[in-house]
Amino acid sequence: MHIFEPRYRQLLRDVLAAPEDQREFGIVATRVVDHNGRSWYPIGTSARVGDVDAYPDGRSDITTIGHRRFEVIDILEDGSPYLKARVRWLPEDTESAAEDSATRAAGVRATALFARYRSLIADDDTDISDLPDDPHLLSFVLTAAVPLPTQKRQQLLEAPTTLIRLETACRFLVDEIAAARLLPSIPLSAERLQPDQAN
């Protein structure tokens, strides 16, 4: 991530002032509600700050990794230059997903569909050896790896279980494969070429 706006420079300073194991901030996608304003999707994810490359003019390049999902309960009005909220951390089925045969089978199918999709848009044999075997982690890797509109990406993020997320990802991948076969030279639809409302 490239940090350059004054409010996010302040956010980064505040995050880096916290103990190392607490250096995270929340990310939520926004949606346009009318011509005058925006609203937030209720489910977001925290991002842990890793490496920070600071520039002399105050800008920074940072690496982050998604950490845990949350539900926004209240937006806090405390005069901060950046948005603050009270959140509820969402439960994850990490361990049970790894042991559930249906979830593991959905992970195998999703991996195969992703490899097929990548081979169509990249015109090569995609190496899927880097994809995680853990179905829970895989479900989030695929959410990030496939270029989807914000609404579909949010649907994956909000899925209550790993199995539902993987099954939904499979449906999306089937659609993407069909689109890539119809338009092999244009892997992204017009909808995806529009400015992303998550910014």
Q: How far is 160 from 165, CA to CA, in rounded Å?
A: 8
Query: 197 is written with which tokens?
Result: 């409302």
Q: Tens digits of per-residue pLDDT, 51-89?
A: 999 999 989 999 998 899 999 999 888 888 998 999 999
Task: Please report the pLDDT score of residue 35 as a whole number.
Answer: 62
Question: 58: helix, coil or strand?
Answer: coil
Which of 129, 116, 110 lies closest to 187, judged by CA? Answer: 116
Instruction: Please say whether the dihedral angle defined by the alpha carbons of residues 59, 60, 66 and 67, taken in this order, is positive or negative.
Output: negative
Q: Tens digits of per-residue pLDDT, 139-160?
A: 999 888 888 899 999 999 999 9
Return the ∠ at Cα 97 (arms to 95 and 90), rounded to 5°: 75
pTM, 2 dp: 0.80
User: What are the structural domains, with CATH classification, of the chain?
Assistant: 2-89 (2.30.130.40), 94-182 (1.20.58)
